[in-house]
Amino acid sequence: MIKFENVTKTYKDKTILKNISLEIEKGKLVAFIGASGCGKTTTLKMINRLIKPSTGRIYINGEDIEKKDVIKLRRNMGYVIQQTGLLPHMTVKENIELIPRTEKYDANSIIETTAKLMDMVGLDPDEYLNRYPVELSGGQQQRVGVARAFATDPDIILMDEPFSALDPITRTGLQDELVNLQSQLKKTIVFVTHDMDEAVKIADMICIMKDGEILQYDTPENILKNPKNEFVSEFVGKNRIWASPEYIKAEDIMIDSPVTCSVNMTLLRCVEKMRSYKVDSLMVVENKTNKLLGIVNAKQLQRQSDRTQEVGQIMNTDILGVRLDDDIVHILKVVDDNNVSNIPVLSDENILLGLITKSSLVTTLSQPYLEEEEVLV
């Protein structure tokens, strides 16, 4: 959708962007983040040619934007800035409808779209359309700014720190609103922010910049789990993933090689295997496929007087499992609701992939506190 190819920007003897290249996929929300002066806003403004690159090319859908009519280019993009950019002498209605009317959209369609956009951003059209910006709160003005950006149904929306001047409660509400809108409309959104929590919350991809260079361009999950270098790690915050537990998955905390046995193993051998591996349960699997057939624990074995019988005769076949991409919040709920100590991690075909134990959960949950103690020491 949007492609930067070896883009550099210099002002006199100062280099703002240093040969950056990246691609933004259609329908994704990409957050550019970094300290002031890192080049994130310059990068955004190049997309609608408010700033021209010194070298390099920018393409939208394979077309070099330098060859496109700049007015048409900008009118086909939504643009939301920190100060809303609403025209103070125009009503909310006039602000939203300015570009559609300039482009001579159908009058009835404009009226209908404006009402829908107001509903979309949570403002009652009857109450707010005829007000002027000065009569609105900061949060309401920013909602109108978002509605205006969507007025021509553009494929691309540019948002330059749109919520940074708002109070925390209003800001959180607008972030939630944007996430909901994006899930429905799937626009290509380029969002500049200096707030890592905001970026993690709203973005499909995050681009971390420093001194005009891209340090890491990746999903929020990968940036939280695998920061590319020490600067990214410090910028993100070592324990920030705990503010987004949905990114901690079963595959991150499971035991990769749980202790297993075959369905025809005798109970005596099962007891010996448990003692040898110091575990209190065994996963009963098919030898060739590793498909989970059942689970047997030490208490079940202790109740049996005949240790010559096969484990398949007494194993518990009512299997409770989770998937690789289930997050830790879901896993903890399963543990709590079912009062279990071990949860197998299974594929869709019930192939045993790993095991989560209470011990591994405790170790995972205590990690941020252990790291804090290490820092203090």
Residue-level pLDDT at 196:
86
| Residue 369 confidence (pLDDT) above 60 | no
| Residue 210 confidence (pLDDT) above 80 | yes
| Residue 377 confidence (pLDDT) above 60 | no
Q: What is the mean pLDDT of residues 59-84?
A: 89
The mean pLDDT value of the chain amounts to 88
My answer on whether 188 and 278 are in the same domain is no
CATH code: domain of residue 277: 3.10.580.10
How far is Cα 110 from Cα 99, in angstroms, rounded to an integer? 10
Q: What is the mean pLDDT of residues 248-257?
A: 86
Does the residue 150 lie in any domain? yes
Q: Tell me the pLDDT band of 188, cut-offs 50, 70 and 90.
A: very high
Phi and psi angles of residue 365, each rounded to the nearest 5 degrees, phi first: -70, -25
DSSP for 278-308, please give it: T-SEEEEE-TTT-BEEEEEEHHHHHT-S-TT
Q: Quick one: tokens of 329? A: 């919040």
Last residue of a domain, one of 220, 246, 272: 246
Q: Tell me the pLDDT band of 240, cut-offs 50, 70 and 90.
A: low
Q: Tell me the pLDDT band of 374, cut-offs 50, 70 and 90.
A: very low
Does the residue 165 lie in any domain? yes
Last residue of a domain, one of 246, 281, 308: 246
Name the residue with tokens 């290249």: 21
CB 114 within 8 A of CB 97: yes
Residue-level pLDDT at 207:
96
Work out the end-to-end distance of the chain between its first and last CA atoms, rounded to an integer number of angstroms: 49
My answer on whether 230 and 257 are in the same domain is no
Q: Which tens digit of pLDDT belongs to each residue from 87-135?
A: 999 999 999 999 899 888 899 999 999 998 898 888 899 999 999 999 9
Number of structural domains, the chain? 2
Q: What is the mean pLDDT of residues 238-244?
A: 65
Residue-level pLDDT at 269:
93
Which residue, 325, 321, 319, 317, is CA-closest to 334? 321
Residue-level pLDDT at 46:
96
Q: Which tens digit of pLDDT belongs to each residue from 296-314?
A: 988 899 889 898 999 999 9
Q: Tell me the pLDDT band of 54, cut-offs 50, 70 and 90.
A: very high
CATH code: domain of residue 34: 3.40.50.300
Residue-level pLDDT at 319:
86
Residue-level pLDDT at 375:
43
pLDDT more than 90, % of the chain = 49
- Angle between helix 328-338 and 358-376 (nearest 10): 130
Q: Tell me the pLDDT band of 376, cut-offs 50, 70 and 90.
A: very low
Does the residue 377 lie in any domain? no
Half-sphere exposure of 184 (CA within 13 A, CB side): 10
Query: CA separation (Å) from 79 to 102, 110, 127, 160?
Result: 16, 19, 24, 8
Q: What is the mean pLDDT of residues 32-48?
A: 93
My answer on whether 345 and 326 are in the same domain is yes
Residue-level pLDDT at 57:
95
Last residue of a domain, one of 246, 270, 286: 246
My answer on whether 154 and 303 are in the same domain is no
How far is Cα 309 from Cα 300, in angstroms, rounded to an integer? 13
Q: What is the mean pLDDT of residues 36-62?
A: 94
CB 373 within 8 A of CB 349: no
Residue span of the structural domain in which 109 resides: 2-246
My answer on whether 231 and 293 are in the same domain is no
Q: What is the mean pLDDT of residues 23-46?
A: 94
Residue-level pLDDT at 243:
66
236 versus 193: which is more confidently predicted?
A: 193
Does the residue 210 lie in any domain? yes
